[in-house]
Amino acid sequence: MDDTDETTGDSGKAERPLTSPEVIQTYLKHLGVGPGVYRMMDVRGDVIYVGKARNLKARVSNYTRLGGHTNRIMRMIASTASMEFVTTATESEALLLEANLIKRFRPYYNVLMRDDKSFPYILISKEHPAPELKKHRGARSVKGSYYGPFASAGAVNRTLNMLQRAFLLRSCSDSVYESRTRPCLLYQIKRCSAPCTGEIGLEDYGKLVAEAERFLAGKTDSVQKKLNSLMEEASDALEFERAARYRDRLSALAHVQAVQGINPRGVDEADVFAIHQEGGQSCIQVFFFRSGQNWGNRAYFPRADRSVEQDEILESFIAQFYDDKPVPRCIFLSHDVGERALLAEALSVKAKRKVEIVVPQRGEKAGLVAHALSNAREALGRKMADASSQAKLLDGVAKAFGLDVRPERIEVYDNSHIQGANAVGGMVVAGPEGFMKNQYRKFNIKSETLTPGDDYAMMKEVLRRRFLRLAKEQAELEPDGAGEGEEASLAQETITSVTAPGETQQADEWSLVGGDDDELPPEPKESKWAAPDLVLIDGGAGQLAAAHETLDELGVKGITLAGVAKGPDRNAGREHFFMRGKPSFMLEARDPVLYFVQRLRDEAHRFAIGTHRAKRSKAIAANPLDEIPGIGAKRRRALLKHFGSAKAVSRAGVEDLQAVEGISAAMAETIYNHFRCA
């Protein structure tokens, strides 16, 4: 039997655990001098930093020095347990890969975009003989012409409204188009030319589409001149009604241009980035210019350490910003960045054409940047003021609900249904920076044994599914607590798999590189299902009891729950609050905390109702023909065109179905049996 201690060497002395710089040193002998991307991981295997380098070996060797680093870098080195590397052919490829990995892993020590929502576009869909004008967000999987990006859905909706008036393009879906037998209301109010019922021929409709595309491409003058000419011709021919239609279209076009705000003449396609930093926080304002028109702006508040300079934040932000977005031909910056030429080269590779990045000093372009910078300064001022008032409100919430500290995460739950149909649950989240909309979640009520309209059972199902996710995520984050046997073994294997052979990690290495224990970084891992400090349930004592019963069954402890019941006659301001072990209580009628809780509850109510309505609308709009195997878009259109409606199809006999183009005898039998057996 071997009695040798695993922590001793041949001499019998205990081996000293490796320090973080020594851990990093072990990788140097295997690194080349070419470009690439490196990842630094902590003891649990979570990525805490992603960086790129022209020379990987030289960059990594810098981290082995114990001095000359900022506090942020020293903390990062102290947290590093292992590293991973990817070599690239060029430095520009490394820059693009770095941005992709930062957005994927969201490391604690990198500059991070906080708002990752995709931008809306205007789409003229070409998948139908009569193209549809609509808003589009997400992957460009639909065939057609895309125009954007627009800064917000509101900007798109306003523009779409005016474009419908100006060009009379349809906005209905293909299924609605095929089922129309007479013009809809939009035709009556002169916002559609009704190609669905033949009020306009497809050739003339195609001309309207071409005009809309020219306008959206920036050729506004030619479109307006043509409409002016047609209006004058109609007027000269004494066709005043037709002239009035052209006049209305011209008025709509003028309105589209008016609401765009600044429309620079010398800028056809560009994005403007301006950054303002104050009080350890940063705001980046982005303006979008396409086809010589201003298509809106959006403010971003990236997460970064207070020690990071403006140019570094801006550079990292731009690389991440264009990771999943089309790149314009020109980018204007308020501040120069250290690797502007490399960034331009990388974005040119991504766009497959030349991209210029400039810092304008004079003229119209400098004015655009100054305008964006002013907006960034004002937006950051508003955010800091809101954060200050939000902190006071959260302190009041902590006092009202007996919390030991200011809550960082408040979750509010509500259900929505109509007599149990299309039941959904909604969860909204609020924190120090207001509503955290990227953390909102919706739950489709799935239980088949649930009695329709049983709000208690619905709430139990929602909370059970939500806190099961929390328990699962906590188990992943705390492998040491996985228990004995196979689960613990798998957890330990997860840790050792990201560490080089023979490496161990100290429990606390901070003293090796300087600093105080109080300055140790907070938990780097960003949890999608983090434990809330306070849970608010829309309901009274019964709803609260159901919530407590669910959490007790799951073994979830340490979470404060409260029920928010509407007052007599559902009067706002007279809400009663219920908590376990306490009598119900009310807040002062003019207490700001009461208004804050009302806002939280109303937001949960809005979110749940909106989700329910969307689910209900989807169910109403569902076409029963879509449920039949073998029926695609082409056959569905043929059936609807032949019979007029899905209901008429359901009543048709086999011989009648066979008369439809593209419907074989076997398919006719399938359709007939589908409706008879349903």
Closest CA to 56 of 27, 84, 34: 34
pLDDT of 141 > 90? The answer is: no
86 found inside a domain: yes
Residue 2 has what pLDDT? Answer: 45
List the end-to-end C-alpha distance of the chain, in Å, as a whole number: 73
Same domain for 423 and 528, yes or no, is: yes
CB-based burial label for 451 (10 Å; 0-12, 13-18, 19+): exposed
Same domain for 631 and 596, yes or no, is: no
Alpha helices in 497-629 (DSSP H): 510-513, 541-554, 592-621
Domain boundary among 105, 133, 151: 105
DSSP state letter for 518: G
Ranges 2-11, 33-42, 394-403, 668-677: which has the least confidence: 2-11
pLDDT of 499 > 80? The answer is: no
Same domain for 125 and 90, yes or no, is: no
335 found inside a domain: yes
Its pTM stands at: 0.65
Same domain for 49 and 157, yes or no, is: no
Encode pLDDT of 510-548 as tens digits: 222 333 333 334 444 455 678 899 999 988 888 899 999
HEC secondary structure over 39-77:
EEECCCCCEEEEEEECCHHHHHHHCCCCCCCCHHHHHHH
Rounded to 10 deg, the angle between the 363-400 and 592-621 helix axes is 110
Same domain for 511 and 369, yes or no, is: no
Encode pLDDT of 156-208 as tens digits: 887 788 788 878 899 998 888 888 888 999 988 888 999 999 899 999 899 88
Rounded to 10 deg, the angle between the 71-79 and 20-28 helix axes is 80
Rounded distance, CA 380 to CA 386, Å? 10
**Domain carrying residue 573:** 410-618
With contact defined as beta carbons under 8 Å apart, do 128 and 142 qualify?
A: no
Assign 396 a pLDDT band (cuts: 50, 70, 90): very high
Burial pattern 33-53, b for ≥16 Cβ within 10 A else e, equals ebbbbbbbbbbbebbbbbbbb
Give the CATH number, domain containing residue 668: 1.10.150.20
Same domain for 134 and 153, yes or no, is: yes
* Mean pLDDT in residue range 583-591: 85
371 found inside a domain: yes
Is the pLDDT higher at 174 or at 257? 174
pLDDT of 490 > 50? The answer is: no
Encode pLDDT of 409-456 as tens digits: 999 998 887 765 778 889 999 998 888 888 898 888 877 676 776 788
Same domain for 457 and 530, yes or no, is: yes
4 found inside a domain: no
11 found inside a domain: no
pLDDT of 576 > 60? The answer is: yes
* Mean pLDDT in residue range 463-479: 74
Assign 494 a pLDDT band (cuts: 50, 70, 90): very low
Encode pLDDT of 626-636 as tens digits: 778 888 878 88
Domain boundary among 369, 384, 399: 384
> Which residues are CB-contacts of 392 (< 8 A; sequence separation ≥ 6)?
592
Is the pLDDT higher at 148 or at 269? 269
Residue 477 has what pLDDT? Answer: 55
With contact defined as beta carbons under 8 Å apart, do 456 and 543 qualify?
A: yes
Task: Give kind and range of the element (H or E) at residue 317.
Answer: helix 310-321
| 557 three-state secondary structure | coil
pLDDT of 47 > 90? The answer is: yes
Assign 498 a pLDDT band (cuts: 50, 70, 90): very low
Rounded distance, CA 615 to CA 609, Å? 10
Same domain for 359 and 448, yes or no, is: no
Rounded distance, CA 134 to CA 170, Å? 9
* Distances, alpha carbon 302 to alpha carbons 106, 321, 390, in Å: 12, 11, 19
Rounded distance, CA 296 to CA 154, Å? 10
Same domain for 440 and 573, yes or no, is: yes
For residue 348, give the amino acid letter: S
Same domain for 165 and 234, yes or no, is: yes
pLDDT of 661 > 60? The answer is: yes
396 found inside a domain: no
Same domain for 370 and 508, yes or no, is: no
Assign 7 a pLDDT band (cuts: 50, 70, 90): very low
Q: Give the pair of three-digit tokens for residue 423.
A: 């039941």
DSSP state letter for 195: G
In terms of residues, how long is the chain? 678
Q: Give the pair of three-digit tokens for residue 195.
A: 């190609």
113 found inside a domain: no
With contact defined as beta carbons under 8 Å apart, do 30 and 38 qualify?
A: no
- Relative to beta strand 560-565, strand 534-538 is parallel
Same domain for 365 and 415, yes or no, is: no
CB-based burial label for 620 (10 Å; 0-12, 13-18, 19+): exposed
pLDDT > 70: what percent of the chain?
81
Rounded distance, CA 505 to CA 486, Å? 23
Domain boundary among 259, 290, 314: 259
